[in-house]
Chains A and B, each alone.
Chain A
Amino acid sequence: KAGVTQTPRYLIKTRGQQVTLSCSPISGHRSVSWYQQTPGQGLQFLFEYFSETQRNKGNFPGRFSGRQFSNSRSEMNVSTLELGDSALYLCASSLAGTATYEQYFGPGTRLTVT
């Protein structure tokens, strides 16, 4: 079974631009969560989508948004990029609706804002 895939793997953007990152979960997984990882703040939860609905949200400004499609693929968007948005963005998928508890992480998208 293929793992979680994220595209692109690396991205360089300029302050003020916007960016869209994509995540394809493991086949059959319906929950997709997004995290931001920086050296200073560690892994921070952005949001979780389940069945095309946002189920949980972290403490990030409204510039960070996401969505999930009917095939469970998810995208996250960051508008008006700031230098502080430079980070590794990880998505994780889970087989929701059962007793399982594991999240499987993708390799991440490394975003650099200049």
Chain B
Amino acid sequence: GQNIDQPTEMTATEGAIVQINCTYQTSGFNGLFWYQQHAGEAPTFLSYNVLDGLEEKGRFSSFLSRSKGYSYLLLKELQMKDSASYLCAVRPYTGGFKTIFGAGTRLFVKA
């Protein structure tokens, strides 16, 4: 099965950089995802890693190490609107779009 661990909460300051870690135990997966979810809203896709390494997308970057069972999401130049939950998720080898989510990390950005 899959077990995904993330910190429950983090606090960071506007303009700073924050790294949200995700560790997982899984027998195999197609890719690792990061989603953002604002309170009361649906999750929105942020990034996707298939291979080891860093994927950069503007202020957001995501890193994957399959051998270490580890990923992180890096948010640069934090803005107040980045206050949200960040969900780490894996897609197991099932031939479909079944996705297993971690419990999420609530990020609070303070002025």
Contact = CB atoms under 8 A, between A and B. Distances in A.
Interface majority SS on A: helix, strand, loop or mixed?
A: strand
B67 interface: no
Contacts of A43: 43, 87, 89, 101, 104
Given A102-B45, A105-B42, A108-B42, A42 B103 contact: yes
Interface string A78-103: 00000000000010101010000111
A42 B96 contact: no
A104 B103 CA distance: 19
Contact of A56 (B41, B44, B98, B101): B98
Contacts of B97: 31, 33, 48, 56, 92, 94, 96, 103
Contact of B100 (A45, A94, A96): A45
B41 A107 contact: yes
B9 to A, nearest CB: 13
Interface residues of B, number: 23
Contacts of B45: 102-104
Interface size class of A (residues with CB under 8 A): 20 to 34
User: Can you list the 7 inter-chain pairs with the closest CB atoms, starting with the nearest?
Assistant: A105-B42, A56-B98, A43-B101, A42-B103, A55-B96, A56-B96, A94-B97
Interface of A: 31, 33, 35, 41-45, 48, 50, 55-56, 58, 90, 92, 94, 96, 101-108
Interface of B: 30-31, 33, 41-45, 48, 87, 89, 91, 94-104
22 contacts: A31-B97, A35-B101, A42-B101, A43-B89, A43-B101, A45-B99, A45-B100, A48-B97, A48-B98, A55-B95, A56-B97, A90-B42, A92-B97, A96-B96, A96-B97, A101-B30, A102-B45, A102-B48, A103-B45, A104-B45, A105-B43, A107-B41
